[in-house]
Amino acid sequence: MKTVLITGCSSGYGLEIARHFHAQGWSVVATMRTPREDVLPRSERMRVLRLDVTRPDTFAAALAESGPLDALVNNAGIGVVGAFEATSMDLAREVFETNTFGVMALTQAVIPQLRERRAGVIVNVTSSVTLARMPLAAVYTASKAAIEGFSGSLAFELASFGVQVKLVEPGYAPTTRFASNGGARMAGLVPPTYAPFAEPIFAAFATPTQVTTEADVADAVWRAVHDTTGQLRFPAGADAVALAQAR
């Protein structure tokens, strides 16, 4: 039986990815900053563990309890939308600590066991903001674009050890808690000077023509983990697929 460790499983993509892999017969290690077992199926193949990607001191215990891994899915992330001028460097660093450095740190902690076994897959969940220019998303885009570059380079390093690295690029998913989770963080990031520019953008977000669902992302991660073609990028959701095809 294969085992996958997934970060950020309390809601949204991570929750659905965990459910999907469990339904397909995998053993799932669903990690969260604050563990909640009530959101996932109770099963011998489902373990809910505490892991905060910004706290490397939480890695060792979680990895020890997880046992040998066949796949790591770096899904945990935070969002921020607003004018870059109004975004403090402290906030920018907070976003990078989770979206960029957290992914890199956990990946580095898992690589040795995959390399030694010469098998395994690392899937990094980024965003469709890396597929096309998006307004009011400079810091968020930068944090995700860094992981795109990181993953492409890492894929070369690990290929000789039989370890694959993949990218899943979700589109806009209004059914997730992206906006509500980042509400306090994003307060005041659209000052009055930027209001005329921002208002039509937010109006368009309210009535999207194409969106991404949590199931789209879970399916893309599943395909990425099982891919044997060498494909690096897996856009997830109708809008992300359209952006990828337009590049």
Catalytic residues: 140
Can you list the alpha helix ranges (DSSP code H) found in 79-177?
A: 89-96, 103-117, 138-159
Residues in the chain: 247
For residues 118 and 111, give the distance between their C-alpha atoms in angstroms, rounded to a whole number. 10
- Strand partners of residue 6: 30, 73
Amino acid at 158: L
Residue 221 structure tokens: 């991660």
For residues 23 and 45, give the distance between their C-alpha atoms in angstroms, rounded to a whole number. 10
> How far out from the chain centre does Cα 219 lie?
14
Question: Which element (helix H / strand E) includes 22?
Answer: helix 12-23
**Beta strand extents in the chain (DSSP E only):** 3-6, 27-32, 46-50, 71-74, 121-125, 164-170, 233-236
Residue 193 structure tokens: 């000077």
Question: Which element (helix H / strand E) includes 186?
Answer: helix 183-186
Q: Cβ(221)–Cβ(168) under 8 Å?
A: yes
